[in-house]
Amino acid sequence: MAISTSSSLLRYRKLAKRDWLVASLGLLLTVFSLSLFLDLTSDSVPFVDHNPTITSPSDLVKLKLSNKAKERGAFCLDGSLPGYHFSKGSGSGSKSWLIHLEGGSWCDTIASCSARAITRLGSSNYFEREVSFQGVLSSDPSQNPDFFNWNRVKIRYCDGASFSGRPEAEVKNETRLFFRGQLIWEAIMDELLSMGMSDSKQGILTGSSAGGLAALIHCDYFRDHLPKDASVKCVSDGGFFLNVPDVFGKPTVRSFYRDVVKLQGLDKSLDQKCVARKEPSKCMFPQEFVSNIRTPVFLVNAAYDYWQIQHVLVPASADLDKSWAKCRLNIKECDAEQMRVLHGFRSSLMDAIGKFHQNKASGMFIDSCYSHSQMLKPVMWHSPNSTRIQNKTIAESVGDWYFNRKPVKLIDRPYPCNLYCYNMNFT
């Protein structure tokens, strides 16, 4: 009996070790999958920086959870409090405010929102306690010549609907997710106004990717809550998403947006003039409502936007034969026919911004790079080797437009003409 028991224990220990190994591998795979999800959906997709910026302790800005969020019922997807990072302005910039809305795609189903709720894109429990302020948020005048001493704020993205979801939509939600992006936006705005923004003389609302779309959605709200005599404008970075079919003729992005709007109840947050005449999900596309924005707007966009090419034009789910596999990851790998399709995508962007281009108060920097969300990346925003059009960096262009130094409507020639481009390579 003792021998049998010992043998059983030995087998148990071997099994336990094997189960532990399997569990460990499973955990590693889960962590890897989540990190990949965060890389592919956030503003901070890795890229080769030929002029790496050395981050000093002064560039690191601490996280602050919103004081007003709880009383307003403004929660991240998982019910945690939303937050932001604030760097106080000084000198001539002490009454100037630049608000940046973080990006990171969207979630369109209970399953995808639930997965998101256990990452930093759905829960403040996973936010970094400090983040580096670079590009348009930098305090370094050589990197950020016009806005370095402004009050600079980065609002973290944890709702999955471009800061526009509404709690009325939660009745359909059996997993107790919180769809409160609109309340997050309003609560943090109230908090910033109480911190001195209500006395501002100058203001910019900007954002990248899904945050760039949010900057357009909330542009007039921002203008209306700052002093009437303040100079207030909005800048969208990589947020001009196109309503175009994928390469197989399917309305992939339109269907996706329809599900986001329906799930999180965005119809009341979107432009109401647009919603009154169109199906609400169409009003998530800037081409449908940008002409209704009263506040001056500047667009920073890559004509060969890699996120849109990888998710809108050639989604992986549609590329079953992998014929686009190399091209999607590296524009230099595209053959002549694929480049014809990509040039067609650029033409769609040109058509979509046609009326916007005619607006005297508007501005734009449309480069022909294989890029996305460029204003937080020093090497793209402003450096000796930055992306340029007509020898102007994005920072110089935005500054000239904001301060009315000169009109700025820069549109690059088609790829591959711009030698200053930092074209992403995901291979």
Q: What is the mean pLDDT of the chain?
A: 88
Give the model's pLDDT for residue 127.
Answer: 98
Give the pLDDT mean for 324-339: 97
Give the pLDDT mean for 9-34: 36
Q: How far apart are CA 357 and CA 33, in angstroms?
A: 41
CA 110 to chain centre: 21
Above 90 in pLDDT, residue 125? yes
Q: How many CB atoms lie within 10 A of CB 39?
A: 12
Give the pLDDT mean for 341-349: 98
Above 70 in pLDDT, residue 50? no
Q: Quick check: 47 and 422 in contact, CB under 8 A?
A: yes
Nearest CA-CA partner of 43 in 151, 184, 156? 156
Above 80 in pLDDT, residue 213? yes
Q: Catalytic: which of 105, 209, 371, 383?
A: 209
64: helix, coil or strand?
strand
CA distances from 172 to 163, 178, 261, 284 (A): 19, 11, 13, 21
Give the model's pLDDT for residue 34.
Answer: 38
Give the model's pLDDT for residue 2.
Answer: 35
Q: Catalytic: which of 159, 267, 271, 305?
A: 305
275: pLDDT confidence band, cut at 50, 70 and 90? very high
41: pLDDT confidence band, cut at 50, 70 and 90? very low
Give the model's pLDDT for residue 174.
Answer: 72
Nearest CA-CA partner of 376 in 212, 216, 222, 220? 212
- Give the pTM: 0.88
Is 382 an active-site residue? Answer: no
Q: Catalytic: which of 372, 373, 397, 412?
A: 372
Is 159 an active-site residue? Answer: no
Above 60 in pLDDT, residue 416? yes
Q: pLDDT tens, 320-331?
A: 899 999 999 999
CA 413 to chain centre: 25
Is 305 an active-site residue? Answer: yes
59: pLDDT confidence band, cut at 50, 70 and 90? confident
Give the pLDDT mean for 271-296: 97
Q: pLDDT tens, 150-183?
A: 999 999 999 999 999 999 999 866 778 999 999 9
Give the residue with greater pLDDT, 305 vs 32: 305
Q: How far apart are CA 109 and CA 86, in angstroms?
A: 32
58: pLDDT confidence band, cut at 50, 70 and 90? low
Above 60 in pLDDT, residue 189? yes
- Residues pairing with 98 in the sheet: 152, 204
Give the pLDDT mean for 420-427: 94
Give the model's pLDDT for residue 317.
Answer: 86
Q: pLDDT tens, 218-263?
A: 999 999 999 999 999 999 999 999 999 999 999 999 999 999 999 9
Nearest CA-CA partner of 349 in 294, 400, 299? 299
Q: Quick check: 151 and 89 in contact, CB under 8 A?
A: yes
> Alpha helices, DSSP H only, in 52-207?
69-72, 110-116, 181-194
Give the pLDDT mean for 118-143: 97
CATH class, 49-411 region: alpha beta
Task: Please report the DSSP string for 181-229 in residue order.
Answer: HHHHHHHHHHHHHHTTGGG-SEEEEEEETHHHHHHHHTHHHHHHTS-TT
43: pLDDT confidence band, cut at 50, 70 and 90? very low
Above 80 in pLDDT, residue 6? no
